[in-house]
Amino acid sequence: MKPYLERRQLESKLWTYMSPVLALLLTLLAGALLFRIMSVEVAPALYIFFIEPISTSYGLSELWVKATPLILIGVALSLGFRAGVWNIGAEGQLILGGIFGGGVALLFYEQEGFYILPLILLAGVLGGMLWAGIVAWLRTRFNANEILTSLMLTYVAELLLSYLIHGPWKDPEGYSFPQSRIFSDSALLPVIADGTRLHLGAVIAVVVVLIAWGVLARTRLGFQIKVMGDAPDAGTYAGFSHKKVIWMTLLMSGGAAGLAGVIEVVGPIGQLLPSISPGYGFTAIIVAYVGRLHPVGVLFAGLLLALSYLGGESAQIELNLPLAVGGVFQGLLLFFLLACDVLIHYRLRLSPNKA
């Protein structure tokens, strides 16, 4: 008996949804093995990693705090991925959102006004769009691969942020620490549950999910995105412009990443720091795929991957494991997911002998 893969005639609907579940199970299994190798007791470790962080209402609120940027970016990336536009530089667009939004927040330092927060959020969106717009321009004008350009611009963004808070935007009363002033209250996102850090951003993320769902299911733009991703020639035949789809998806994903960035700095962080994101922009790629590039799927996937951040933190605190364990779990999940996705197009068969 020798296992082999047989191509399915049509892709399997069942496995489209089962693949993430199977991947999650395999991730747990591999994680257990990993804990075992590091001589940590498996059952308590998995409990500390996956259950304990969300066993309290505060833990649940933290889950949403972490999930908010992941969902925002994951939703927008999935629109681009559907169209075959591979923006993997959402991290850089997020940072630019933080810089633009943070810049406006500093501009209105110690001022009050209902208009300040909307202006800050808008600036964040524009910052992300600007960064993604560069990618779109390079792609449509010079046919430069957006995977490379978007990734490389991430490093530029990191250095730009670093320059600003080491230089012109450094807190004058901050004892030379590389950080900006702490934003004033009217620049901060209101907390929506007392005693937690859960802020308005979570609501914005859910609203964005619903909007993206509607766009994808009901609008010409969503239709163009789906057609271009599945059959670009059919899109041209239908009169859709490939360039326009590249611009639209990159601007949308850049805008959403920028929004996620500004929400971070005027939400949980409250000022500009050298690092404003623990890799949300990259993790969101996993979120998009685990969520099957569907807005509602992304919502759940965002919560799941947020748990990997919380689990990583509690594993560090309670088990003295390195924080990187969280990243390892994220990587394992994506790895197994891509492997399991083979089952969407192939079926596993056992052949009686023979090569």
Binding region for other proteins (CB under 8 A): 10-11, 218-221, 223, 226-227, 230-231, 233-234, 236-239, 241
Residues in the chain, total: 355
262 CB-near residues (< 8 Å, 6+ apart): 97, 98, 100, 101, 102, 120, 121, 123, 124, 125, 127
Residue 199 or 292: the one with the smaller Cβ distance to other proteins is 292
Torsion of CA 295, 301, 305, 311, to 10 degrees: 140
Residue 303 or 343: the one with the smaller Cβ distance to other proteins is 343
CB 11 to other proteins: min, Å: 8
Residue 25 or 238: the one with the smaller Cβ distance to other proteins is 238
Are 257 and 133 contacting, i.e. CB atoms less than 8 angstroms apart? no
- How distant is the alpha carbon of residue 274 from its chain centre? 19
Distance CA 199, CA 217 (A): 29
Residue 179 or 224: the one with the smaller Cβ distance to other proteins is 224
Q: List the end-to-end C-alpha distance of the chain, in Å, as a whole number.
A: 10
Other C-beta atoms within 10 Å of 86: how many? 18
Residue 95 or 245: the one with the smaller Cβ distance to other proteins is 245
Residue type, 257: A
At CA 71, angle to CA 67 and CA 74, rounded to 5? 135
What is the dihedral sign for C-alpha 111, 254, 312, 50?
positive
Are 73 and 280 contacting, i.e. CB atoms less than 8 angstroms apart? yes
Residue 41 or 230: the one with the smaller Cβ distance to other proteins is 230
CB 74 to other proteins: min, Å: 22
Distance CA 69, CA 59 (A): 17
Residue 197 or 218: the one with the smaller Cβ distance to other proteins is 218
Distance CA 317, CA 53 (A): 12
